[in-house]
Structures are given as C-alpha cells and as structure tokens.
Structure 1
Amino acid sequence: MNICREDYSENSDFLRKRVVEYNLSKLPDTIKHPVNKICFTARDDNDQIIGGITGVMFWHHLQIESLWVDETIRGCGCGSGLLQKIEECALEYKCSHIQLDTFSFQAPEFYRKHGYEIAGVIKEHPIKESSQYILVKRLRREKDGLSY
C-alpha cells in the first residue's frame, strides 16, 4: 500500500461517489429518493437580493446549508420568512427533521426561537472565543401529514 497526498479536485468526486454507494447499500429502498436542492431569495423593490436560504433534502431530512440576510434589514422578519419557506418544503417532501450548523457569532438563538434544539456544540471553534452549534428541528407526523 502506498498512501500519498494528491490533488483534491481530481479525486474528491470519485471518493464521494464511493461513500454514497456504500451508504446507500446499507439503507432501505424507501429512503433512497433523489437529492433535492432548495433555494429561496428575498428581493427588494429594485430586485436586489437582500436575503436567501439554501438547503439540500435527502434521506428524509433537510440540511440547511446557508441563511443570509443583509445586515441593514436584520430583525425585520426576512430571516424568519425565509426559514418558514424552506421548512414548508421540508414538510411537503415529508422530511422527518431539519438540521443545520451555526456559530455563536451568527444566530444560534434565532434558530432556537424557531424551535431548533441544540444537538451538539464544538467549543472554541473556529476561534477560542466562539463555538459551533449543530441544531435540529424534528417534524412531527400528524394524521393528515407532517407539521411542526
């Protein structure tokens, strides 16, 4: 065996594909649905993007990748509106939960206010004065579908 450092771009897709193949071999067919990438934007009267949220749905959950709101309008409901829209998509696609990560200098309390629970904390990351939070929101199954 020879282990050597190689170019990331040449090998990352190959390795990722092998991990996905292995993972899928361990899961029931009912969970093997296509990946859905989701993006919502908020625009001002001049059609400029003032906020947005992105996420990926797979294995019956939504992974929120990013949520950004222009600093000049934070606290005015734009972030809550974007979060609500992507949560509605998770319900539509029958996700069991939503997960994300954020830093202490970003918005952990914003997410907690919207029903997200802390699933884990990495202290002193990325710097000593901050922490990284992993948050989860479980979606309940009701008689007529999912609700939160």
Structure 2
Amino acid sequence: MKLIKGTTEEASHVRNQLIAFNSAHVPNGRYEEVNLCVKNDQGDIIAGLNSAVCWNWMEIDIIWVDEHHRGEGLGSRLLTEAERIAREHHCSFIKLNTFSFQAPDFYRKYGYEVIAIIEDAPSGHQHYFLKKQLND
C-alpha cells in the first residue's frame, strides 16, 4: 500500500464511495450537485455558485463574482436562484461558510444566521458558518 496525493478523478471516487455508504445508512439519501454561472455577452463566466443538495438541505460551497461586476446584483441573483432550487428540492435549510474578508454581511441581509465562528482562521480573520431555514 502507498499513500499518494489524489487526482480530481480520485477525489470524486472517494466522494462517491462516501455518498454510497451514507445512503446505505440514512434513508432518503441523496446528493445532487447544483452549479450555476452567469456569463457575459462574450461567453465569459463572470459569476458562479457551486452547491449540492444533500438529504434535506442545500450546501453552498462557493459563490464568486468577478471583481469588475461586483455591485451589479449578480450575487443576489445566484443566491436567490439557489434558494428557489433548494425549495423545489424540498430542502428545509441552506448552509454555507464564508470568511470575515468575504461576505458575512451579504448573507445576513438575506436571512442567513451565524451558527458558528472560528477565530483566527485564517490568521487575523474569522471563518463564519451560516444557515437559513427554508420551512415556510
């Protein structure tokens, strides 16, 4: 046996094995990636959101907006669409994380509540974990 640094394909294999294991132990297991992007007229990606629907929630991994297009409402559009999709998939909540130098106030504006903060991660900053209930 040898321990190696895995490729993207190998990481996907590991993820799929864990999903299969989880599905065997928790009823109604599901994992579906939900990735969105905004393109300009030239076809360049100027904003995007990567997430997954897991069991009864959506987990947003990444929201990114090109610095030249910030303040144009693209982040809001992505977040609103993700919430619509989460509701369509009968998710009861959305969870995500961000850093103090990114956008914790942006998410609070949309009803996300801080559930944990790790101090000094990265050094001199905070790592925020947020959640929004979707139950109506």
| Smaller-chain TM-score bracket | 0.7 to 0.9
Structure 2 unpaired stretches of 5+: none
Structure 1 unpaired stretches of 5+: 142-148
Moved over 3 A (4+): 10-16, 19-26
Q: What is the alpha-carbon distance in structure 2 between the residues aligned to residue 20 and residue 115 of structure 1?
A: 29
Matched, 1:6 2:40: no
Q: What is the alpha-carbon distance in structure 2 between the residues aligned to residue 90 and residue 51 of structure 1?
A: 19
SS of the residue corresponding to residue 140 of structure 1 reads: coil
Q: What is the alpha-carbon distance in structure 1 between the residues aligned to residue 20 and residue 88 of structure 2?
A: 27
Map 1:35-54 → 2, pairs under 5 A: 35-54=31-50
SS of the residue corresponding to residue 22 of structure 2 reads: helix
Q: Determine the structure 2 residue equivalent to 1:114.
A: 110
Q: Give the root-mean-square deviation of aligned CA atoms.
A: 2.2
Q: What is the alpha-carbon distance in structure 1 between the residues aligned to residue 52 and residue 32 of structure 2?
A: 6
Matched, 1:98 2:97: no
Matched, 1:69 2:65: yes
Map 1:71-86 → 2, pairs under 5 A: 71-86=67-82
Q: Determine the structure 1 residue equivalent to 2:23.
A: 24
Instruction: Give the deviation of 1:68 after TM superposition.
Output: 0.5
Name which of structure 1's ranges 42-51 and 87-96 shifts more when overlaid on structure 2. 42-51
Instruction: Give the deviation of 1:85 after TM superposition.
Output: 0.8
Report if aligned partners of 2:22, 2:29 keep a CA contact under 8 Å in 1: no
Which of residues 112, 132, 136 in structure 2 aligns to 1:137? 132
How many residues align structurally?
Answer: 133
Q: Decide whether aligned partners of structure 1 residues 61 and 46 sit closer, same or farther in structure 2, where only a CA change above 3 A counts.
A: same
- Percent identity, aligned pairs only? 35
SS of the residue corresponding to residue 9 of structure 1 reads: coil
SS of the residue corresponding to residue 6 of structure 2 reads: helix
Q: What is the alpha-carbon distance in structure 1 between the residues aligned to residue 15 and residue 62 of structure 2?
A: 24
Instruction: Give the deviation of 1:20 after TM superposition.
Output: 4.2
